[in-house]
Amino acid sequence: NVRMWEHPATQANMATLKQRGVLVVEPDEGPMACGEYGPGRLAEPPVILAAIEATLNDGPLKGRHIIVTSGPTHEPIDPVRYMANRSSGKQGHAIAGALAALGANVTLISGPVSIPDPPGVITRHVETAREMRDAVQAALPADAAICAAAVADWRVESADQKLKKDGSGQPPALALSENPDILAALSVPGPNRPQLVVGFAAETEKLTEHATAKRARKGCDWLVANNVGGTGIMGGDENEILLITDAGVESWERMNKSEVAARLAERVGAFFA
Within a domain: 32: no
Are the CB atoms for 227 and 207 separated by under 8 Å?
yes
**CATH number of the structural domain spanning residue 140:** 3.40.50.10300
Within a domain: 4: no
The pLDDT of 156-162, averaged and rounded, is 91
Within a domain: 134: yes
Domain span at 151: 37-158+168-272
pLDDT in tens, 243-268: 999 999 999 999 999 999 999 999 99
Are the CB atoms for 222 and 244 separated by under 8 Å?
yes
pLDDT in tens, 105-148: 999 999 999 999 998 888 999 999 999 999 999 999 999 999 99
What is residue 233's predicted lDDT score, i.e. its pLDDT?
A: 67
Q: Is the pLDDT reported for residue 31 higher than 80?
A: yes
Within a domain: 65: yes
CA–CA distance, 264 with 262 (Å, rounded to integer) = 6
Within a domain: 97: yes
CA–CA distance, 261 with 239 (Å, rounded to integer) = 10
SS3 at position 246: coil
The domain tally of the chain equals 1
What is residue 230's predicted lDDT score, i.e. its pLDDT?
A: 67
CA–CA distance, 69 with 61 (Å, rounded to integer) = 18
Closest CA to 60 of 107, 93, 117, 98: 98
CA–CA distance, 224 with 185 (Å, rounded to integer) = 18
Mean pLDDT of all residues belonging to the chain: 92
Q: Is the pLDDT reported for residue 154 higher than 90?
A: yes
Closest CA to 62 of 122, 24, 106, 25: 106
Known catalytic residues are 34
The pLDDT of 73-94, averaged and rounded, is 95
What is residue 133's predicted lDDT score, i.e. its pLDDT?
A: 97
Closest CA to 28 of 54, 53, 5: 5
Are the CB atoms for 29 and 41 separated by under 8 Å?
yes
Helix (H) or strand (E) holding 123: strand 122-125
* pLDDT classification of 180: cutoffs 50, 70, 90: very high
Q: Global pTM?
A: 0.83
What is residue 113's predicted lDDT score, i.e. its pLDDT?
A: 96
Closest CA to 93 of 131, 146, 41, 142: 146
Within a domain: 108: yes
Within a domain: 3: no
The pLDDT of 153-163, averaged and rounded, is 92
pLDDT in tens, 39-77: 888 888 988 888 888 778 778 999 899 999 999 999 999
Q: In 165-179, which positions are buried (b, 16+ CB within 10 angstroms) versus exposed (e)?
A: eeeeeeeeeeeeeeb
Within a domain: 186: yes
* pLDDT classification of 24: cutoffs 50, 70, 90: confident
Q: What are the phi and psi torsion angles at 156 (to 5°)?
A: -120, 160
CA dist list (Å): 64 to 184, 240, 272:
22, 27, 9
CA–CA distance, 32 with 46 (Å, rounded to integer) = 19
pLDDT in tens, 94-107: 999 999 999 999 99
What is residue 244's predicted lDDT score, i.e. its pLDDT?
A: 97
Q: What are the phi and psi torsion angles at 222 (to 5°)?
A: -120, 155
Closest CA to 179 of 126, 131, 215: 131
Q: Is the pLDDT reported for residue 181 higher than 80?
A: yes
